[in-house]
Amino acid sequence: MAKEYALNFTGDVMLGRLIDQLYLTHVSNPEDQKHIRVFQARHASRLGFGKYTVSSPWGTVLPLLADEGDLNLINLETSITTHPTPWPDKTFNYRMHPANAVPILAAAKIDFACLANNHTLDFVWTLKHSSSPEQQHRIAIAGAGESTQEAVSPAILELPRSKSQHGVKHGGRPGALSSKDLEERKGKHLIHVYAATDHPRAWSDVPTFHFVDYSEKSREHLRRITSRYSTPVSGSEEASLKILSVHWGPNYRWHPAREIRSMAHFLIFECGIDIIHGHSSHHVQGIECPAPGKLIIYGCGDFVDDYALNKEFRNDLGALYRVIVKEEMGAKKVKPVRLEIFPTKITHFQAYLLRHKGDKDHDWVVDTITRLTNELMRSECDCGYAHDTKKNIFRPSLGDRGQLIIDLV
């Protein structure tokens, strides 16, 4: 019997600013401290001193991540530093204290954090060095690094998840594995996760930040790196699955631009990417399945943050995207076979699972993703690639926990 695994994806996870202030150790910011005291006074039972723990940001979604997720991947929309000088001329600068980063991410067993976004360089980032050998959880990163090679090369995850975490690669050249780690890796699938972003353009010349645009030059660059790292230097095993986590497009746009759709199809059909994990819009967008076992999530929405509510785009409503991958018989590959979308809501700086049909927020997520996806499927991509144009890719009934279900094969 071929094994199946659950890969969980979320949109923006912003753990800085007011959320950071809820912890005993936090970045010094009197203005943020003043604002969070108001929330704590109003909601003492949830946000009072000691009430908000390292598990709190994940709320009632935590079991889907920590207990059910074989791998968990997020976009970390926060720099991790106490550095006092922000990037100049930016409206929003987010940072969290390094002492909080790994404990919070470890609580939900986060395996990968995308650093290719418009807040990674707000301050000096330190996530890589927070994952110390003494700690029992290591978070892989991609999209930014201490060298160009680290920024553009994929993180490598093991499926099933590595127990020691020593086999997990941040980016760049993997370190030598011990005989124990090599033994643990035997028979596992290697999952390559790339990360890139199309903004801010002011950071395009930063060599340790993976910026791409929609030019032919960027296409050739992406084709080159996805080919170069197909076989890890540590061994002869090829990637069982290739993922791109990409922060693209402007905020608050229902549909991805034509250039984004064209790039997405290029990545699928010419770079061998299996799953595109898109984010940036701050709200959910549509989904495409351009070929069997291929998936494009254009915008996952926000997962947890302290942002003000946009009533039109409902940035407080998002989802956990669970991709079920299945081993292919006779090949050392895993193939996406099903997508399950669990609607969520941000309340009191926590992610909550929306379960029931008839809940207006749950129904809004379901209806919006369905509508936007169907609109994408009906519209011409104009990308030059033959692709599946089925009119309705959703199962007619929701799952037993209120999730939308799409069969990918």
Whether pLDDT at 177 is above 90: no
Between 184 and 171, name the one with better pLDDT.
Answer: 184
Q: What is the 3-state secondary structure (H, E, C) of the chain?
A: CCCEEEEEEEEEECCCCHHHHCCCCCCCCHHHHHHHHHHHHHCHHHHCCCCCCCCHHHHHHHHHHHHCCCEEEEEECCEECCCCCCCCCCCCCCEECHHHHHHHHHHCCCCEEECCCCCCCCCCCCHHHHCCCCCCCCCEEECECCCHHHHHCCEEEEECCCCCCCCCECCCCCCCCCHHHHHHHCCCEEEEEEEEECCCHHHCCCCCECECCCCHHHHHHHHHHHHHCCCCCCCCCCCCEEEEEEECCCCCCCCCCHHHHHHHHHHHHHCCCCEEEEECCCCECCEECCCCCCEEECCECEEECCCCCCCCCCCCEEEEEEEEEEECCCCCCEEEEEEEEEEEEEECCEEEECCCCCCHHHHHHHHHHHHHHHHHHHCCCCCCCCCCCCCCCECCCCCCCCCEEEECC
Res 172 pLDDT > 50: no
> pLDDT at residue 284 above 90?
yes
Rounded-to-10 torsion of CA 380, 384, 385, 387: 10
Query: What is the rounded average pLDDT of the residues 290-298?
Result: 97
Kindly report, residue by residue over 191-247, the tens digit of the pLDDT. Answer: 999 999 999 888 888 999 999 999 999 999 999 999 976 554 444 458 999 999 999
The per-residue pLDDT for 2 is: 86
pLDDT in tens, 32-42: 999 999 999 99
- What pLDDT, on a 0 to 100 scale, did the predictor assign at position 236? 43
pLDDT band at 175 (very low <50, low <70, confident <90, very high): low
Q: What is the pLDDT of residue 117?
A: 83
**Local confidence band at 332 (pLDDT 50, 70, 90 cut-offs):** confident
Residue % of the chain over a pLDDT of 70: 84
Number of domains in the chain: 1
Residue 334 confidence (pLDDT) above 90: yes
> Is the separation of the CB atoms in 76 and 114 below 8 Å?
yes
Across 248-277, average pLDDT? 97
Least confident span in 83-87, 163-167, 315-319, 375-379: 163-167
At 63 the pLDDT is 98
pLDDT at residue number 78: 87
- Residue 385 half-sphere exposure toward CB, CA atoms < 13 A: 17
Q: What is the pTM for the complete model shown? A: 0.93
CB of 273 within 8 A of CB of 244?
Answer: yes
Task: Enter the tokens of residue 270.
Answer: 């010419």
User: What is the domain range of residue 254?
Assistant: 4-407
Judged against a pLDDT cut of 50, whether residue 173 lies above it is answered with no
Average pLDDT, the chain: 88
Q: What pLDDT is stored for residue 186 in this prediction?
A: 76
Q: Give the integer Cα–Cα distance in Å for 119 and 121.
A: 6
The terminus-to-terminus CA distance of the chain in angstroms comes to 18
Which amino acid does the sequence have at 14?
M
* CA nearest neighbour of 408 among 226, 283, 275, 240: 275
Structure tokens at 124: 């000096």
The predicted structure's pLDDT at residue 277: 98
Q: Which of 140, 162, 189 shows the shortest CA–CA distance to 326? A: 189
The neighbour count for residue 89, using CB atoms within 10 Å, is 7
pLDDT of residue 90: 55
Residue found under tokens 């909550």: 352
Q: Tokens for 280?
A: 């940036």
Over residues 294-301, mean pLDDT: 98
Q: What local confidence, expressed as pLDDT, does residue 133 receive?
A: 45
pLDDT of 383 reads 73
80 close to 96: Cβ distance less than 8 angstroms? yes
Name the band, by pLDDT with cuts 50, 70 and 90, for residue 390. Answer: low
Summarised one tens digit per residue, pLDDT across range 63-122 is 999 999 999 999 999 888 787 666 666 556 778 898 999 899 999 999 999 998 866 665
